[in-house]
Amino acid sequence: MTAPVPEGGDSLSIRPARRADLLAIVRIENASFSQPWPHDAFETFLGEPGFLVAVDETRTIVGYIVSDVTPNYGRNLGHVKDIAVHPDHRESGVGSALLTRALSVLGAYNADSIKLEVRPSNESARRLYRSFGFDPLRRVPGYYDDDEDAIVMIYELR
Ligand SMILES: CC(C)(COP(=O)(O)OP(=O)(O)OC[C@H]1O[C@@H](n2cnc3c(N)ncnc32)[C@H](O)[C@@H]1OP(=O)(O)O)[C@@H](O)C(=O)NCCC(=O)NCCS
């Protein structure tokens, strides 16, 4: 079901990703990252409730988020694995709308906390996460393929 969301304008919808969306998702991924996920990586998350796309009024995919929940030492750990918005559609609330919906889905699937990794150099993403209440937890040296560190950020739901 596609439900309208207030963020990102009245014309934006957030819904679960489908196989037919993968090409558009991969195009946005390639335009967004120096080391993009391949098509197959997205395919494995089809059917995951936290794999969502943002669709505009022309039914164009303008962004996506990949997230899931896994049991971890007696707690359910949510993880935002990937999020990107098409370069032409950034800074109009699409990323916030995707994150809002993903946090709600992960909460509904009993996540106790949600973590993500972000590059220290990715200031817009870090600002977005901080505005949602994610706190920096630790730094992982050389986490990315190009050897940049990751900052692990965490959001506690309960
Ligand atoms: C990070 C990313 C997903 C954010 O998506 P986005 O759609 O631009 O996010 P939003 O529009 O919700 O918020 C971004 C900014 O736009 C501002 N904004 C939101 N709605 C706005 C509007 N209607 N008008 C003007 N500005 C607006 C927000 O306040 C925010 O400002 P800030 O950077 O000063 O905090 C996007 O920049 C992206 O795809 N980056 C490349 C991939 C990437 O780095 N992903 C994260 C990996 S960890």
Q: How far is CA 38 from CA 27, 35, 89, in A?
A: 10, 9, 22
Domain count of the fold of the chain: 1
Q: φ and ψ at 59, to 5 degrees?
A: 65, 25
DSSP for 23-86 reads HHHHHHHHHH-SSPPPHHHHHTTTT-TTEEEEE-TTS-EEEEEEEEEEEETTEEEEEEEEEEE-
Give the predicted TM-score (pTM) of the model.
0.94
CB of 110 closer than 6 A to ligand 1? no
- Residue 8 is predicted with a pLDDT of 52
Q: CATH number for the domain including 142?
A: 3.40.630.30
CB of 125 closer than 6 A to ligand 1? yes
Distance 28 CA to ligand 1 centre (A): 14
Residue nearest to atom 21 of ligand 1 (CA): 92
Mean pLDDT by 10 residues, the chain (158 residues): 49 97 98 96 98 97 98 96 98 98 98 98 97 98 96 96
- Residue 9 is predicted with a pLDDT of 56
CB of 93 closer than 6 A to ligand 1? yes
Domain extent, residue 106, equals 3-156
Q: Are strands 61-72 and 75-85 parallel, antiparallel or unpaired?
A: antiparallel
Distance 57 CA to ligand 1 centre (A): 19
128 SS3 class? helix
Kind and range of the H or E run holding 131? helix 123-131
Burial bucket for residue 147 (CB in 10 Å: 0-12, 13-18, 19+):
exposed
Query: What would the two tokens of residue 78 be?
Result: 């949510």
